[in-house]
Amino acid sequence: MKKHILYLIILLVFSFTACSRESKNTEKLAEVNGEILYLEEFVAMIGEDNWMTMDSSARHKAVEDWVNLTLLAQTAKKNKLLEKQGVILRQNIAQKKVAANALISEKLSTINISEDQLFSYFRVHRAEFMEPVQFYRVQRICLPSKIQAENVFEKIRDGLDFMQALSRYKAEAPPHLSGDMGFVQPSSADSVFWFSAKQLELNEPGIIKKDDYWFVIRYTEKKEGDDVANFDDFKAEIRHKILLEKQEDVYRELLREIKTKAGKVFYY
């Protein structure tokens, strides 16, 4: 509950700047009572690393939570709760947290993780990556827009048979981009479908974007490949793990640096 309240406060902080902002030429995620929720803002709020590591179902749930919190924030503003002193103070605290997290994220983005560091991590934690590679038999429905893909995704989650959805909606985009893909591999040109399928359960639908199209996908079967997973298959995951480990070091180093230069702190 406390976590949701914090998110609400942060959304309220964002709402002040959103009101005066000109419309952006960027991808829209949703519209709530005339207020456009943009992908750029959402990624900025949750962090690019978190966004990149979320599977399609997690992303959908996170956007749904953002819509719900926006509804609550709009109602709070309408009821003039934002004018209360306690809420104003909490907004100030939330602004500080957002600013501090932005500083830490900026510092993390400058960290260069070399190929040697990635491979050293892989070598030390090799046991985590030694399972045979799984190949996934993927079926996909190609759609021209995110809204259409989400509509089909929701219908399937509500009980529409995937193959019926495929038959019904495959004419919405080039037909050759829909249907059975066979078994996809992490090192193939269709690796984006492999990575998404890896995050799903058997027959669970997911949504991904590739090139100019959106896809609703599922996998119906998986099998072990002949080779074990290699280093190249896990570079992105290893990079994320290393950055997570460095966050505490970055936080302490930033505080040490700031206090050394202009750390005038008095306790009363």
CATH of the domain at 148: 3.10.50.40
Same domain, 24 and 90: yes
Same domain, 239 and 219: no
pLDDT digits (tens, 9 = 90+) for 33-47: 999 988 888 887 776
- CA proximity to 117, closest of 21, 1, 223, 231: 231
Same domain, 185 and 150: yes
Q: What is the pLDDT of residue 263?
A: 62
- CA proximity to 129, closest of 51, 222, 213, 238: 238
Final residue in a domain of this structure, among 79, 109, 139: 109
In angstroms, the CA 69 to CA 46 distance is 14
242 residue type, one letter: I
Instruction: Look at residue 114 and give its three-state secondary structure.
Output: coil
Q: Where are the alpha helices (DSSP H) in the chain?
A: 2-20, 39-46, 48-53, 56-78, 85-109, 115-124, 146-157, 162-169, 191-198, 235-262
Contacts of 141 (CB under 8 A, 6+ apart): 149, 152, 162, 165, 166, 169, 170, 178, 215, 216, 217
**Contact in structure between 185 and 225 (CB atoms under 8 Å):** yes
In angstroms, the CA 180 to CA 234 distance is 26
Strands of the 206-210 sheet, one edge to the other: 179-184, 132-143, 213-228, 206-210
Q: What is the pLDDT of residue 33?
A: 93
Q: What is the pLDDT of residue 139?
A: 96
Same domain, 118 and 242: yes
Same domain, 27 and 44: yes
Same domain, 154 and 105: no
Same domain, 10 and 104: yes
Give the range of the structural domain holding residue 123, as residue numbers without chain letter.
112-130+232-268
- What φ, ψ does residue 32 adopt, rounded to 5°? -125, 105
Same domain, 122 and 241: yes
Q: Provide the pairing of β-strand 213-228 with 206-210.
A: antiparallel
Which parts of the chain have pLDDT scores under 50?
Answer: 1-25
Final residue in a domain of this structure, among 41, 74, 109: 109
In angstroms, the CA 155 to CA 161 distance is 9
- pTM of the complete model: 0.47
Final residue in a domain of this structure, among 58, 76, 109: 109
Q: What is the pLDDT of residue 49?
A: 64
Number of structural domains the chain divides into: 3
Same domain, 180 and 224: yes
- What φ, ψ does residue 8 adopt, rounded to 5°? -60, -45
**Contact in structure between 179 and 113 (CB atoms under 8 Å):** no
Same domain, 193 and 116: no
Same domain, 236 and 150: no
Same domain, 8 and 82: yes
